[in-house]
A and B are shown apart, each in its own frame.
Chain A
Amino acid sequence: MAELFDYDKNREASSAARVRALEALLIKKGVLGSDSVDAVLKHFETVAGPFNGARIVARAWMDPAYKQRLLDDTPTAIAELQFPGMTGAEGEHMKAVANSESVHNLIICTLCSCYPWPVLGLPPYWYKDPVFRSRGVREPHAVLREFGVMIPAEKEVKVWDSSAQIRWFVIPERPANSEHLNEAQLAALVTPEAMMGVALVPSPSTP
């Protein structure tokens, strides 16, 4: 049975050799710069991605005044952190909502172009699924339960539909037993799913 999932080592080596040769050929022809690949991927790896959102959330957890500014005027509060990926249209029109003891927020979206890339990164496969979107609106508690997020029936779930006008993201609740963590350690706990409202931030393991 296991052999069905084996991957031929020669096939992997052959793919790597083909790409290596292609890159060398294109550089030789002057079509591709030697640093072009790194330059273009830098955008996904260090400029726009969930690492930005995680830093925003961690700052909001550490600093209640910053959290309030983030809720009142999200773009200005984000600008305080001076992320390079926030300068274009993709970083505009963002609005943060905060989970609390009485409210849980869930973000849905009808178009990937409305996804707040600079803070959440690439959207997951199911995000554009019409069933997820329609059920998210109709029965958010049930949908969240399927994600493993148990929200008591008496707790309100607010559903926000991202659009080109407003791109929503969630400030999750700070987990219990995280008082000893610094901002970077807190940021490491925050996932894109938590900032979409389909996950909670787990309590860190005891130091």
Chain B
Amino acid sequence: MFTRFEEYAATQMLGHPDSPPRKDGKLVFDAAWQRTVFGMALALSKQGHFEWEDFRQNLIANIAAWEHEACDGKTSWDYYERYTMALIATLEHCEILQSGELAQQITLNDASQ
């Protein structure tokens, strides 16, 4: 039994298709945004905004969708890109995020740079 959400959440993924990249017992992030999005999903679920299992099922479905893409024009594998898509889908499903809001925020961020 796990008393810590972080360990429960990561353990649910291990040995399954949504298992995160790791090396020498540690999570592997190639860029800061990957670390951020991984932590965001964990933090939001830990706070009770959605069930971890619901997010996982979205992630597994997103990974399966990539696997079934036609080889011709298939984008290269990016675990955290799929992870981001799954988080967005989960947030939209539980109505924390409205359709179009994220695109507006990206435009806003671009304009302020």
Name B's interface SS. helix
Shortest CB–CB separation between residue B75 and chain A, in angstroms?
Answer: 8
Residue of A nearest to B38 (CB): A41
- Interface residue tally of chain A, by bracket? 35 or more
Residue of B nearest to A113 (CB): B11
Q: Which residues of A contact B96 (CB under 8 A)?
A: 26, 29, 31
Name A's interface SS. helix
Taking the complex as formed, is B10 at the interface, i.e. its CB lies under 8 A from any CB of chain A? yes
Residue of A nearest to B80 (CB): A15
Q: Is there contact, CB below 8 Å, between B14 and A121?
A: no
Q: Is there contact, CB below 8 Å, between A22 and B87?
A: yes
Q: Which has the most chain B C-beta neighbours within 10 Å: A7, A38, A49, A121?
A: A121
A19 in contact with B37 given A29-B96, A40-B6, A40-B46 (CB within 8 Å): yes
Q: Is there contact, CB below 8 Å, between B44 and A32?
A: yes
A89 in contact with B19 given A18-B102, A32-B40 (CB within 8 Å): no
- Contacts A21-B108, A113-B2 aside, 16 further interface pairs with beta carbons under 8 A come to A12-B31, A15-B81, A18-B102, A20-B33, A22-B97, A26-B96, A32-B44, A36-B47, A45-B26, A50-B26, A90-B3, A90-B7, A112-B15, A113-B11, A122-B10, A192-B24
Interface residues of B, Cβ cutoff 8 Å to A: 1-4, 6-7, 10-11, 14-15, 19, 22, 24-27, 31-33, 35-40, 42-44, 46-47, 49, 75-76, 78, 80-81, 84, 87-88, 91, 96-97, 101-102, 105-106, 108-110
